[in-house]
Chain A
Amino acid sequence: MAKYTIKRLGMAFITLLFVACLTFLLMNSIPGSPWLSDKNPPQATIDALNEKYGLDKPVAVQLGKYLKNLAQGDMGVSLKMQKNRPVIEIIKDMFPVSAKIGFFAILWAIVVGVPLGCIAAYNRGKWVDSFLRIICTIGISMPSFVVASLLLTTFAGTNEALRLFPTIFDAKLGVNTYILPCFALGLYPMCYTARQARSSMLDALGQDYIKTARAKGLKNPSIIFKHALRNALIPVITYLGPQVAFTFCGGFVVEKVFSVPGLGRYFIQSISNRDYPVIMGTTVFLAAFIILMNFLVDVLYKVVDPRINLAEGGK
């Protein structure tokens, strides 16, 4: 296990390096500069700023310097959006907001999605199954801006009777303000999880050991949730791992619609503002998070299925 962890750490390091380099090069290949704005500053000012922040150097040199700083835990300072504020501090500020919404979104996606998938699989072909399939197809195919906007106009719009939730996110308002964003953010993963759970449950329910379990005289809940579900979890976990990272780092659209001051929204804004260090910081952070989740997923495989041997690279 220790050897495996070291190997994975090494691979994670290389992946991160690759992500950082690629993002840095791509980011610099788009035209524009952080200093451009409505005021159109004189060329002399731009040159001076470029020199101050090292943007006048060749890209390769800039990249080398960035990587060196990154290795020491320094992600640079914001160039524009929160001028001169360290990127790490910005992430520390915004990530918890996104993560809190993301946590509840994923929580409801799992708690509702997995049982729904099991129910659909057990009632395959019956009306329950068809009904759930329709719901899930809608949930998967509706873009999040539609879901979020619909929710916003319905439950936080002009209709007084239905206006149960605040229009603009404000952490001080407590539970109420979280409900709509969490629901909107979790709907897609919920539906996807349900569908994934359904298909892998169908597979598991057709296995011989289910026949054995029935022949033993076990009752349905025990057959479904003990014998079939655990075997059906692997594909679900595989999907949920990276999804947790994405959801925790904030859904850009949902955060935008509900005006959540989260990382996702900030990340997109940083791109349009060419705030290079913020782009780099958020990307590297998200990449590291996904790598961590993938590692956790692999460890979870082992917990769920004892046949999986991590040290020997798979089954």
Chain B
Amino acid sequence: MKNANDKKLLEVKDLKVSFFTPAGEVKAVGGITYDLDYGEVMGIVGESGSGKSVEAYSIMGLLQSPGKVVGGSIMFEGENVLNYDKNKMNDFRGKKVAMIFQNPMTCLNPVYTVGNQLTEALRAHHKDISAADAKKKAMEMLELVGINNVEKRMTQYPHEFSGGMRQRVMIAMGLICSPKLLIADEPTTALDVTIQAQILELMKDLQKKTGMGIIFITHNLGVVAEICDKVSVMYAGRIVEQGLVSDIFYNPSHPYTVGLLQSMPRVDAEEYERLIPIEGTPVDMLNPPEGCPFAPRCSQCMQICLKKLPPYVEIEDGHKSACWLRVQENMKCKEEQANG
């Protein structure tokens, strides 16, 4: 699915988002950079409040006051989304990028039929489509996401669907205009485990069929391993480590990533293995510490960590990490090379 002129699907550069609260400016996203190729699936992992959803909302222009993008750029197929006016944004949302949310129980409007809401998504971007064609397309989409008896299902209201079914409807609704990018904001978090697996399976399947790119926001590393090509680990509004799934899982290079992996139960674990939690609490975003935000919780914290933000170090091609430990290793490496 590579584009001929080799443009990336999405390039986010130094994106900064702040919330201007009465208590002061909260830098929810403090300058993040990543890109996504056509058909690529990227996971964004992080704990609550790390800025992962805020970052996704700013791509869609869905940030609510007092949230505001204060810097950086979001290039979608070479166009800066942040410069879009209201009409262009409405055109962009739903057609080029779709989004599905965490809680399928509340994301569908309870007073309109599922069919109504599906066709509405289609007709918002295809003004001249006839009612019959829209209905046909909507039914196709429902079938595609694995809903049976679509003729009847179209006329039913959301409360007549189960949670998993509603998330399927949300996915069908998101994909009805064949977007190039799907942003999934914790789409499986509110579902029970068996349904989670089904929805993941469905998304993987649909991704293969449509070739769309997916940004998958989650705090569940297991889900990431399941579906993603690459991962960005976020902490306190910054990406602390970024790389292919295999890099992150087998060669984690940031203490926070290591901590996340250690605190996750594994199927292949030795018979009796304790989970190791990450000590401490997340950063107070109103008064972020100087230096590395993870430093106060880091077991390998050094003097410099408390004073200066670490720069990104490229560990392997496409695998980078923001940690002073890696910076020092890198320097040692270079010295050794220089010394022969």
Contacts and interface: CB of A to CB of B under 8 A. Distances in A.
Contacts of B309: none
A223 to B, nearest CB: 10
Contacts of A73: none
A211 to B, nearest CB: 7
Nearest to B93: A217
B90 A212 contact: no
Given A215-B99, A218-B124, A219-B90, A208 B111 contact: no
B95 A217 contact: yes
A164 B246 CA distance: 83
Interface string B121-160: 1001100000000000000000000000000000001010
B235 interface: no
A216 B108 contact: no
Contact of A217 (B90, B107, B108, B157): B90
Contact of B109 (A214, A217, A219, A227): A227
Contact of B92 (A217, A222, A231): A217
A211 B107 contact: yes
Contacts of B99: 215
A215 B106 contact: no
A212 B107 contact: yes
A31 interface: no
B101 interface: yes
A206 to B, nearest CB: 9
Interface string A208-234: 110111111111001000110011000
B85 to A, nearest CB: 13
A217 B110 contact: no
A116 to B, nearest CB: 22
Nearest to A307: B159
A207 B99 CA distance: 16
- What is the interface residue range for chain A against chain B? 20 to 34
Given A216-B173, A219-B90, A231-B110, A307 B157 contact: yes
Given A214-B93, A216-B120, A218-B120, A231 B107 contact: no
Given A207-B106, A215-B62, A216-B121, A306 B111 contact: yes
Contacts of A47: none
A231 B101 CA distance: 20
Interface in A14-64: none
A305 B60 CA distance: 30
Interface string B97-117: 011010100111111100000
Contacts, number: 72
B124 A305 contact: no
A258 B162 CA distance: 58
A266 B170 CA distance: 59
Contacts of A216: 93-94, 98, 120-121, 124, 173
B232 to A, nearest CB: 21
A208 B106 contact: yes
Interface residues of B, number: 28
B182 to A, nearest CB: 11
A118 B20 CA distance: 26
Contacts of A219: 90, 124
A215 B108 CA distance: 12
B91 interface: yes
A304 interface: yes
Nearest to A217: B94
Contacts of B157: 306-307
Contacts of A217: 90-95, 121, 124-125
A211 B91 contact: no
Contacts of A230: 111-112
Contacts of A231: 109-111
Contact of A215 (B94, B103, B109): B94
B153 to A, nearest CB: 15
Given A208-B106, A216-B120, A217-B124, A304 B91 contact: no
A304 B109 CA distance: 12
A215 B120 contact: no
A251 B46 CA distance: 62
B60 A307 contact: no
Contacts of B98: 215-216
Contacts of A212: 101, 107-109, 170, 173
Interface string A67-111: 000000000000000000000000000000000000000000000
Contacts of B62: 211, 214-215
A209 B110 contact: yes
Contacts of A306: 110-111, 157, 159
A213 B99 CA distance: 10
Contacts of A305: 110-111
B159 A209 contact: no
Contacts of B120: 216, 218
B111 A211 contact: no
A226 B99 CA distance: 20
Given A217-B91, A218-B120, 16 more contacts: A209-B106, A212-B108, A212-B170, A213-B109, A215-B62, A215-B93, A215-B101, A215-B174, A216-B94, A216-B120, A216-B124, A217-B92, A217-B95, A230-B112, A306-B159, A307-B159
18 contacts: A208-B107, A211-B62, A211-B101, A212-B107, A212-B109, A212-B170, A214-B93, A215-B62, A215-B174, A216-B173, A217-B91, A217-B93, A217-B94, A218-B90, A219-B90, A226-B112, A230-B111, A306-B159
Interface of A: 207-209, 211-219, 222, 226-227, 230-231, 304-307
